[in-house]
Every structure is written in C-alpha cells, then in structure tokens.
Structure 1
Amino acid sequence: MTDQGVRVRCAGLLVRDGHVLVESLVGAGRWSPIGGGLQPGETVPEAIVREFREDHQELAWIPLSGLADVVLLPHHLSEEIPTALETGRIVFRSERRVPVMKQE
C-alpha cells in the first residue's frame, strides 16, 4: 500500500425549525453532518447533493440548542454550527489529514 494523498470530505447542513439533520451508523451514538468523500471531477455542491440523496444508516434532527449534549464529529462543530448560522459563515475547514491508502 502506498500513500496516495488526502481524501477530501464535504458535508452539508440542513437546518429546519431550530434543528439540524445529522447522520450516524446505527447504534454508534456519534453524529455528523451528512456528507462523504468528494469524487474525482465532482464539485463540492454536486457532492453534497449526491450525499443527501444516498441512503444513510440513521438520521436524526438534533436541536441546535442541544448540539453540545450529543457526540458530534468533528467535535468543534457543536460550537461552530450555531456561530455560523448567526454570522452567515457557511464554510468550515478541518486541518485533520487522513491519508488515503491504495493497494498496489
């Protein structure tokens, strides 16, 4: 296996009536915005639309006021989502890099 770089993950937020839609593996107890890996040649908006259309393991509407009460990954989003909605800042970046491994 050789390191082929970094896979870009993108995610979108759907907020309705003071709640945000999140996804999780069934029974995992960890939640994240709906998203996934960016495919070659795909734009970020195209990837987000695709991810919202794909089947998800488990979905939940979490109250914005209760984000700190659930395990939300990445952890900084429990503070950044409400701030973004208040300020209109809609792009988040994480510096965490996960190498993509490819079998030779």
Structure 2
Amino acid sequence: MPLEKRTRVEFFLPIKTDASDYLTITDWLAEKLAYSRGGSTLTSPFTGLYVSSTRGSVIRDDVHILFCDFLLEVENAEDQAELDAYLLDVRTLLMDALKEE
C-alpha cells in the first residue's frame, strides 16, 4: 500500500479572554482547515512560557494549538512554495485581524 506524503502544520494561537476576536478567529480557522483540508484538531488550552525581549522575564501565555495535515511534500519545491504562500497568507490575515506582533 503506497504511503501518502503529508506535512503537519501547527498554529499556536493565544487565548485572550478579554478579546472575543481571538476566539472568533480561532474557531473560523479551525473550521476553514476542517473543510478545506479534510480535518483539523484544536487542543485544550496549554500554558506557554517565553522570555520577553523587552522585559527580560518569563511570560506565561495561554495558547491553543491548532494543527492540520496537508497532502504536500515539503521535499517537493512546488509543494513547498504552495505551503509557504498559504502560510504567509494565514499569518498576514491573523496579524491584521488580531493586531499582534
């Protein structure tokens, strides 16, 4: 049986309880991936830790991880270009909608 080549894409999406835009965008993206790629998985909240470059201290941030498999081979230059373009579009959309760095 031939194996399908897949590439897993993961989105780390912050949870902001004081901003309904975050939940709306997260739900929209999860559903868009489910319809367009045949499924997606949205995790329960996780706490992420990172060091702030401006404060020099550890920041805790609650995040959802949304992941989806794409039927693309990253070793294939054409597939890689398609995936790069798609991810750039999603990143731009998220940055514009959520006004985050």
- Greater Rg over alpha carbons, structure: 2
Whether these two folds match at TM > 0.5 is: no
Higher strand share: 1
Q: State the TM-score, normalized to the length of structure 2.
A: 0.25
Query: Bigger relative contact order, structure 1 or 2, given CA contacts below 8 A and separation 6+?
Result: 1
> Going by fraction, where is helix more abundant, 1 or 2?
2
Q: What TM-score results when the alignment is normalised by the length of structure 1?
A: 0.25
